[in-house]
């Protein structure tokens, strides 16, 4: 079995702090995905430095194949000591999921991971060990399709303390049950992270008493998305491109009027334009039988990129997902790329669009190529495997 992993995280800064004292690192090795959540002691600049140092040291060493014992030892010896508490460290959780389905979780003083499988919260057995005087929990297990793992900093289980809830805040058990309910509504790691983060923010009444971070990993099926945009350089290549495009597994998306005309001609199908579109700033989508989505080209790709960049810059919350669910071409394309894609194949024609040749838009080809380049970069930053084929 080869597993695909969907990961996302969301942080809330402690009220009136510019920097977050939690740090999440997402790393990919040749045969695994690694998610590290470090929580620096205290808050603000010092906590941020401690958490960042911890996450970077752990990530670098794990990527180089170091054993967990030497990682923890290095962190313990590297971090500066707090003069007041006589300890200065960051707590951390490390989840490493190998593509063969084996997984390894290490926890040091962070709240326990929430494991969800088959619509139930489950408890994996763990071994406890002491390294450099620190108690470490270690779990080894195999993952299954649709498994969900939620790592958190302790700001999560203190949410609501003394305000909405009792002195104990949001307990681990109530947080786990809320997570279970949310997983029934979405299969997307980013949506789940946003929902849980929003719940914490609401419990803190929008004034978090501590840095609060949620990091989600979900085991998903491999999802291939194919996008065809721009006519080929030679008209003779239209059929070859469409043959390659249609014989690729996964979703089929065509972006651009000329591209849609080529697809319809070669597939012997009609183009039906939808006129009941909700956003006048985004051109309407069309329908061609056999394709999953047909959009206008440059304007729609530009708007899609804006959504992808907001997502990459951690500017996603529950309102962002409402926008992603909107009934327009840009939102539909962005939603597919964010939530329904592990691999992206781009079929890119290199001909200049004849419509723009005599107009002020004679830079159409370079504009489209620039958008394609940005789209590739955004998809790679989101952890997708990207392949481009030029025609």
> pLDDT tens digit string along 266-293?
999 999 998 776 777 889 999 999 999 9
Arithmetic mean of pLDDT, 142-157: 94
Question: Is pLDDT above 60 for 72?
Answer: yes
Q: Are strands 251-255 and 224-229 parallel, antiparallel or unpaired?
A: parallel
pLDDT, mean over the chain: 89
What pLDDT is stored for residue 2 in this prediction?
79
What is the pLDDT confidence band of residue 155, given thresholds at 50, 70 and 90? very high
pLDDT at 100 over 60: yes
Q: In what order do the strands lie in the sheet with 127-131?
A: 22-28, 32-40, 90-98, 102-108, 134-142, 127-131
Asked whether the beta carbons of 135 and 37 are under 8 A apart, the reply is no
Does the pLDDT at position 61 exceed 60? yes
What does the alpha-carbon distance between residue 31 and residue 238 come to, in Å, rounded to a whole number?
A: 38
- Predicted pLDDT of residue 356: 44
Q: Top-level CATH class of 4-220?
A: alpha beta
- Give the pairing of strands 272-273 and 22-28: unpaired
Smallest CA-to-CA distance from 232 within 324, 134, 352, 338 is with 352
* Nearest to 290, CA basis, from 273, 274, 268: 268
* 343-348/224-229 β-pairing: parallel
**Is the full-model pTM beyond 0.85?**
yes
Residue 49 has pLDDT above 70, yes or no: yes
Is beta strand 293-295 parallel, antiparallel or unpaired with respect to 251-255?
parallel
What percentage of the chain carries pLDDT values higher than 70? 92
> So what's the pLDDT on residue 361?
47
> What is the average per-residue pLDDT within 133-158?
92
Distances from the Cα of 180 to the Cαs of 283, 324, 331, 338, in angstroms? 38, 23, 27, 22
pLDDT at 51 over 70: yes
More confident residue, 80 or 291: 291
Instruction: Tell me which residue has tokens 């697809």.
Output: 263
Taking the C-alpha atoms of residue 160 and residue 156, their distance in angstroms, rounded to an integer, is: 9
Q: What are phi and psi of 96, to 5 degrees?
A: -120, 120
What is the per-residue pLDDT for 132? 76
The pLDDT score that the predictor gives to residue 78 is 80
Q: What whole-number distance in Å separates Cα of residue 220 and Cα of residue 226?
A: 18
User: pLDDT tens digits for 286-332?
Assistant: 999 999 999 999 999 999 999 999 999 988 988 999 999 999 999 99
Task: Over range 26-52, report the average pLDDT.
Answer: 91
Q: Where are the beta strands (DSSP E) in 293-365?
A: 293-295, 343-348
Q: Is the pLDDT at 170 greater than 60, yes or no?
A: yes
Range 347-351 average pLDDT: 93
**11 forms bridges with which residues in the sheet?**
213
Mean pLDDT score, 38-47: 89
Q: How many helices (H) and strands (E) does the chain have?
A: 11, 18
Give 362 or 93, the one with higher predicted confidence. Answer: 93
Residue 151 phi/psi, 5-degree rounding, is -95, 150
CA–CA gap between residue 7 and residue 14 (Å, rounded): 23
- Domain edges within the chain: 4-220, 224-390
> What average pLDDT score do residues 186-201 get?
92
Give the number of other CB atoms < 10 A from CB of residue 267. 14
- Give me the mean pLDDT over the 103-131 stretch: 93
Rounded CA-CA distance 313/307 in Å is 10
Give CA separation, 245 vs 155, 290, 349, 379, in Å: 48, 12, 12, 19
Kindly state the average pLDDT of the residues 100-120.
Answer: 94
Which pLDDT value is given to residue 135? Answer: 86
What mean pLDDT do residues 72-77 have?
A: 82
Burial degree of 118 (CB within 10 A; 0-12, 13-18, 19+): exposed
Whole-Å CA distances, 263 to 225, 241, 246, 391: 17, 10, 10, 14
pLDDT bracket for residue 84 (50, 70, 90): low
What would the two tokens of residue 73 be?
């030892």
> Residue 110 is encoded by which pair of tokens?
């962070």
- Is residue 320 within 8 Å of residue 310, measured between CB atoms? yes
The residues that bridge with 322 in the sheet, in sequence order, are none
């Amino acid at each position: 079995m080869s597993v695909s992993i969907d990961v996302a995280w969301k942080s809330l800064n402690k009220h009136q702090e510019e920097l977050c004292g939690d740090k999440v690192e997402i790393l990919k090795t040749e045969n695994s995905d690694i998610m590290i959540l470090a929580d620096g002691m205290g808050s603000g600049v010092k906590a941020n430095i401690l958490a960042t140092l911890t996450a970077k040291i752990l990530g670098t060493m794990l990527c180089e194949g170091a054993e967990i014992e030497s990682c923890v030892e290095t962190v313990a010896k590297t971090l500066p000591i707090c003069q007041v508490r006589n300890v200065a460290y960051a707590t951390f959780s490390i989840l490493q999921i190998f593509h063969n389905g084996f997984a390894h979780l290490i926890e040091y003083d962070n709240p326990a991971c929430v494991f969800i499988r088959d619509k139930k919260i489950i408890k994996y057995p763990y071994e406890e060990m002491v390294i450099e005087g620190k108690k470490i929990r270690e779990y080894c297990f195999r993952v299954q399709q649709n498994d969900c793992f939620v790592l958190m900093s302790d700001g999560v289980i203190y949410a609501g303390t003394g305000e909405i809830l009792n002195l104990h805040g949001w307990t681990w058990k109530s947080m786990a049950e809320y997570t279970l309910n949310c997983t029934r509504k979405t299969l997307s790691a980013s949506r789940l992270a946003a929902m849980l983060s929003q719940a914490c923010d609401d419990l803190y009444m929008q004034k978090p008493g501590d840095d609060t971070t949620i990091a989600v990993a979900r085991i998903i099926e491999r999802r291939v998305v194919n996008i065809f945009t721009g006519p080929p350089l030679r008209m003779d290549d239209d059929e070859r491109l469409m043959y390659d495009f249609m014989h690729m597994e996964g979703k089929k998306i065509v972006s651009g009027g000329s591209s849609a005309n080529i697809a319809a001609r070669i597939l012997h199908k009609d183009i039906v334009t939808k006129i009941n579109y909700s956003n006048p700033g985004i051109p309407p989508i069309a329908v061609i039988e056999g394709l999953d989505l047909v959009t206008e080209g440059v304007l729609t790709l530009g708007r899609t990129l804006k959504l992808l960049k907001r997502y990459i810059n951690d500017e996603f919350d529950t309102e962002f997902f409402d926008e992603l669910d909107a009934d327009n071409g840009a939102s539909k394309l962005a939603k597919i790329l964010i939530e329904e894609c592990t691999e992206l194949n781009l079929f890119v024609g290199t001909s200049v669009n004849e419509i723009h040749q005599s107009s002020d838009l004679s830079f159409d080809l370079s504009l489209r190529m620039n958008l394609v380049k940005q789209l590739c970069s955004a998809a790679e930053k989101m952890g997708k495997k990207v392949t481009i084929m030029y025609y």
